[in-house]
């Protein structure tokens, strides 16, 4: 009897989580992963730290090799193999193989689409100039690192002030290199509110990163008079022109869905593949996971698109399990994220003030500053911002920033959001205390106390 076959398209977080979980459940299945690039199973999240030099070599970011998957998990991981067409009626994927051989038609019983996201570049003239990079994949980041290591970069410009732009500001800044961050919208890092934003801006200022908001970039100019030739020298934006001998594009991503769309698979929020809790698409036998798929925001109850590694791994695992005959769910996310900006930890979960208002809630909010641990042991202040629903008292979102004790504290509030706790219930939480770790009233509880007062107004 022919073995059932699972074909996975995409060989990073979601794709390899799917393949590995399918193998754990089903020893007999034929599992193949097709990856169009040369790299599989690496931590994209570690790329800024590789650029900064905190990760000494790129190989440390690689988790497993194709060889590991073949020998340890009996999964065929084929690099430089691009899936160019899916026929869902014939259950076949057409794959272009290296060396100019004829495309192969690969039959499948189950398909997991894990094609990730692609950089969303705005219309900017001159993107083809030398010295212009993105950090959305390993190869482009390696090229950026080589360019920086050549020692000629004195003036770097980052386009885009989301979390990757912020991480890159830290990664690129050195004592002899100036960094300018240009953001087209009026605010950096849209996912957080004003109080948190101010702390981020102060931290960037403390490290001499120049920030310009409302600075839509129109074109890049090179050292040769015409077109896309030579190396970048200037960035022209609505806020003026800036010198640059290196430009990093951090303008966000969009789901990579052309293949799925052409196969008749329905797209959902923000153009991502529409999936249900089982990671199934509208077509039988075809599942999708990771940065190419949408998900449910458990706080607002609306479908959303939040491309993050933590979600990609979990969705991949669920897709793999269901492709192998299981029946498990990925219920959704609450929108938790952390980012390090120099010495500042920034965390957010749930809905920001703006997102909560857009979702139709009448909100109460509170923001407090309190030490992350006992002051007599050197504890420094963090900001905790909370948002709640006035009509039910339910917590809707939280944000924090400070030099310590933020990154993991935000997870307490993410848990509260999953449990749909009210502010009163959060206030009753038995949180740990010892002077090196907290204060007797944890900053979370001080913020909730303030929030409860606001809810009574
Ligand atoms: P990808 O990692 O994009 O993998 C998809 C793969 O599919 C790609 O290798 C692609 O080549 C391949 N592919 C596409 N089309 C085809 C085709 N037709 N045929 C064959 N192969 C194909 N997330 C966090 O949670 N925390 C962080 O701190 C964090 N930091 C990040 C920092 C950076 C610089 C970047 C770029 C991302 C970061 N992320 C972070 C996001 C995280 O890396 C992604 O969410 C995660 O990699 C998504 O995994 P994925 O498998 O869905 O997609």
Q: How confident is the model at residue 425, as a pLDDT?
A: 98
**Global confidence as pTM:** 0.96
Among the listed residues 263, 417, 399, the one whose alpha carbon sits nearest the alpha carbon of residue 331:
417
94-110: average pLDDT: 93
- Ligand 1, pocket-test mutation among 36, 171, 295, most atoms within 8 A of CB: 36
The residue behind tokens 């990925």 is 330
Ligand 1 centroid to Cα of residue 13, in Å, is 7
Q: How confident is the model at residue 378, as a pLDDT?
A: 97
Q: How confident is the model at residue 98, as a pLDDT?
A: 82
Q: What is the DSSP string of 411-454?
A: HHHHHHHHTT-BHHHHHT------TTT--SS-HHHHHHHHHHHH
Whether residue 444 has pLDDT greater than 80? yes
Ligand 1 centroid to Cα of residue 54, in Å, is 21
Q: CA angle at residue 135 from 133 to 137, to 5 degrees?
A: 115
The residue whose CA is least distant from atom 3 of ligand 1 is: 116
The residue whose CA is least distant from atom 27 of ligand 1 is: 45
Whether residue 76 has pLDDT greater than 70? yes
Closest atom of ligand 1 to CA, residue 315: 52
Ligand 1 centroid to Cα of residue 370, in Å, is 37
Ligand 1 centroid to Cα of residue 134, in Å, is 13
Ligand 1 centroid to Cα of residue 432, in Å, is 36
Whether residue 228 has pLDDT greater than 70? no
Closest atom of ligand 1 to CA, residue 46: 32
Q: Within 6 Å (CB) of ligand 1, which residues are found?
A: 9-15, 34-37, 44-45, 47-48, 82-83, 114-117, 135-136, 164, 256, 259, 290-291, 307-310, 312
The residue whose CA is least distant from atom 36 of ligand 1 is: 136
Closest atom of ligand 1 to CA, residue 136: 36
Closest atom of ligand 1 to CA, residue 17: 51
Whether residue 406 has pLDDT greater than 90? yes
Cβ pair 346, 339 in contact under 8 A: yes
* Separate counts of helices (H) and strands (E) for the chain: 12, 25
Tell me the average pLDDT of the chain: 96
- Ligand 1, pocket-test mutation among 13, 64, 139, 160, most atoms within 8 A of CB: 13
Q: How confident is the model at residue 280, as a pLDDT?
A: 98
Ligand 1 centroid to Cα of residue 406, in Å, is 26
Q: What is the pLDDT of residues 252-304, one digit of tens each?
A: 999 999 999 999 999 999 999 999 999 999 999 999 999 999 999 999 999 99
Q: What is the pLDDT of residues 106-115, one digit of tens each?
A: 999 999 999 9
Q: What is the pLDDT of residues 122-143, one digit of tens each?
A: 999 999 999 999 999 999 999 9
Q: What is the set of active-site residues?
A: 45
Distances (CA, A) of 350 to 297, 333, 399, 420: 8, 9, 9, 11
209-232: average pLDDT: 88
Give the span between the Cα atoms of 262 and 279, in whole angstroms: 19
Q: How confident is the model at residue 209, as a pLDDT?
A: 98
| Residue 152 binned pLDDT confidence (cut-offs 50, 70, 90) | confident
Closest atom of ligand 1 to CA, residue 14: 51
- Ligand 1, pocket-test mutation among 162, 309, 334, 346, most atoms within 8 A of CB: 309
| Residue 227 binned pLDDT confidence (cut-offs 50, 70, 90) | low
Ligand 1 centroid to Cα of residue 17, in Å, is 12
The strand ranges marked E within 10-142 are: 30-34, 75-78, 82-87, 92-96, 104-107, 110-113, 117-119, 132-134
């Amino acid at each position: 009897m022919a073995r059932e076959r699972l074909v996975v398209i995409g060989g990073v977080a979601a794709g390899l989580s799917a393949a590995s979980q399918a193998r754990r459940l089903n020893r007999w299945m034929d599992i193949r992963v097709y990856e169009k690039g040369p790299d599989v199973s690496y931590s994209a999240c570690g790329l800024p730290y590789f650029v900064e030099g905190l990760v000494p070599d790129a190989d440390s970011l690689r988790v497993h090799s194709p060889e590991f998957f073949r020998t340890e998990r009996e999964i065929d991981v084929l690099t430089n193999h691009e899936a160019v067409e899916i026929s869902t009626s014939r259950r076949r994927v057409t794959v272009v193989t290296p060396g100019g051989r004829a495309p192969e038609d690969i039959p499948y019983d189950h398909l997991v689409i894990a094609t990730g996201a692609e950089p969303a570049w705005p219309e900017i003239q001159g993107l083809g100039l030398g010295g212009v990079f993105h950090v959305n994949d390993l190869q482009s980041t390696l090229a950026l690192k080589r360019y920086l290591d050549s020692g000629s970069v004195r003036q770097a410009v980052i386009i885009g002030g989301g979390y990757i732009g912020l991480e890159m500001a830290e990664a690129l800044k050195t004592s002899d290199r100036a960094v300018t961050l240009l953001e087209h919208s009026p605010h950096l890092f849209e996912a957080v509110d004003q109080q948190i934003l101010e702390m981020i801006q102060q931290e960037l200022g403390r490290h001499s990163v120049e920030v310009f908001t409302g600075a839509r970039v129109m074109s890049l100019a090179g050292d040769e008079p015409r077109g896309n030739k030579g190396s970048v020298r200037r960035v022209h934006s609505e806020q003026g022109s800036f010198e640059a001998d290196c430009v990093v594009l951090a303008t966000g991503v969009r789901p990579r869905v052309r293949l799925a769309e052409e196969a008749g698979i329905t797209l959902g929020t923000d153009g991502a593949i529409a999936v249900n809790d089982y990671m199934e698409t509208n077509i039988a036998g075809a599942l999708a996971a990771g940065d190419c798929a949408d998900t449910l925001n458990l706080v607002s109850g609306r479908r959303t698109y939040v491309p993050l590694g933590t979600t990609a791994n979990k969705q991949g695992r669920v897709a793999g399990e269901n492709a192998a005959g299981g029946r498990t769910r990925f219920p959704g996310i609450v929108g938790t994220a952390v980012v390090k900006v120099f010495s500042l930890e920034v965390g957010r979960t749930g809905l920001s003030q703006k997102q909560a208002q857009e979702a139709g809630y009448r909100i109460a909010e509170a923001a407090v500053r309190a030490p992350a641990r006992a002051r007599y042991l050197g504890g420094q202040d963090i900001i905790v911002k909370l948002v709640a629903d006035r009509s039910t008292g339910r917590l809707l979102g939280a944000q924090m920033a400070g030099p310590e004790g933020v990154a993991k504290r935000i997870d307490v509030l993410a848990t509260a959001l999953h449990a749909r706790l009210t502010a009163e219930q959060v206030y009753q939480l038995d949180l740990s205390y010892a002077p090196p770790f907290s204060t007797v009233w944890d900053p979370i509880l001080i913020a909730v106390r303030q929030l409860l007062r606001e809810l009574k107004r």
